[in-house]
Structure 1
């Protein structure tokens, strides 16, 4: 279940408020015409005035994605073993941290840094986000934003006659845009 950091609110309303905040943030961005996470990277690079470089990293089972904000470049790493939709979601999640302006209070440990980036000068690293669990508001916000981003990137235009091309996709889209009003249970 979702909760707010301040009040420990575990209500469906808390989730809806967070989702609305994420959706509003995305509406403020020029995302029209994008159809891939790579296109999103290019658009965000232009907006930020600095390149965003996507790079696979060795799979260690502990970290599937990582964002490093260097002085002049944002590096987004993803598990090299990930494929297709999983890879797109990892990248969208890390890009969501950028979009949301998140920063981490948890530094990358020396062993992991040496394993992943043996040639990287630690003095260059301005900010870093490393996450292995979805326990913080920032992680939930990035996860929701990533899901909304992927929905926007892969949403097909509706047929001209107004009918749904795929009933299952229409139900999923309706769920994303209008969550149910009933009480949710963590079970």
Structure 2
């Protein structure tokens, strides 16, 4: 094929190819980063809280919520499905539990990734922009708010990649433990 249409197709392939290479590089760096963390074996991303607290020397509170459109006092539609909110002494990770457990864990992994990479976002949200999530936290103590947004921003893409790799770690931990538990010799030796 020649002419303008062939040129458009080649240009499209080149752009996709560049994006693919950039994504591959983010994945490579992210895998190396996760390997260096020396994560403990866990059954859930939620079980990484003690590791995260130890790493940062700060308290981390998981804040599950379930939006209820029928409840006027429930979160409104502007609430993010996941969010990291930091005060001077505590990190709060909000996540929607009105979805599958697997999806909720992906959200928490994404927020943990922001914490691990020390992402700060571009524009912190004001307490009025949080869809009712922080009613129990004094807004004047909030130092950072980072919620799930579009993934075309580099920090969001990186957090999504790292969150996926944290989930992969959980899967690997479960598989290793299942293999070990099914092996009678390993069970005997590892008692």
Output the TM-score relative to the length of structure 2.
0.72
Q: CA RMSD in A?
A: 2.3
Q: Which residue of structure 1 aligns with residue 117 of structure 2?
A: 100
Q: Which residue of structure 1 aligns with residue 100 of structure 2?
A: 83
Say yes or no: does 1:13 pair with 2:30. no
Distance 1:71 1:61 in 2: 28
Residues 37-62 of structure 1, C-alpha deviation per residue, up to 9 Å, x if partnerless?
A: 12211111111111111112353444
Flag the structure with higher helix content.
2
Residue 100 of structure 1 and its aligned partner are, at CA, apart by 1.1
Aligned runs of 1:125-140 on 2, under 5 Å?
125-140=142-157
Distance 2:58 2:83 in 1: 18
Residue 114 of structure 1 and its aligned partner are, at CA, apart by 6.6
In terms of Rg, which structure is larger? 2
Q: Indicate if the aligned counterparts of 1:56 and 1:77 stay in contact, CA closer than 8 A.
A: yes
Greater displacement, 109-118 / 125-134: 109-118
Residues 119-176 of structure 1, C-alpha deviation per residue, up to 9 Å, x if partnerless?
A: 322221111102332120000000000111101111213969xxxxxxxxxxxxxxxx
User: In structure 2, the residue corresponding to 1:106 is in which secondary structure?
Assistant: coil
Q: Which residue of structure 2 aligns with residue 72 of structure 1?
A: 89
Distance 2:132 2:144 in 1: 18
User: In structure 1, the residue corresponding to 2:120 is in which secondary structure?
Assistant: coil
Residues 6-38 of structure 1, C-alpha deviation per residue, up to 9 Å, x if partnerless?
A: xxx843111111111111111111213222112
Say yes or no: does 1:115 pair with 2:123. no
Give runs of ≥4 in structure 1 deviating > 3 Å: none
Distance 2:141 2:28 in 1: 35
Q: Which residue of structure 2 aligns with residue 56 of structure 1?
A: 64
Q: Indicate if the aligned counterparts of 2:45 and 2:108 stay in contact, CA closer than 8 A.
A: yes
CA distance 1:33–1:80, change in 2 (3 Å): closer
Gap runs ≥5 in structure 2: 1-16, 68-75, 181-191
Q: Indicate if the aligned counterparts of 1:57 and 1:77 stay in contact, CA closer than 8 A.
A: yes
Gap runs ≥5 in structure 1: 1-8, 161-187
Distance 2:48 2:179 in 1: 25
Q: How many residues align?
A: 153
Q: Indicate if the aligned counterparts of 1:106 and 1:130 stay in contact, CA closer than 8 A.
A: no
Output the TM-score relative to the length of structure 1.
0.73
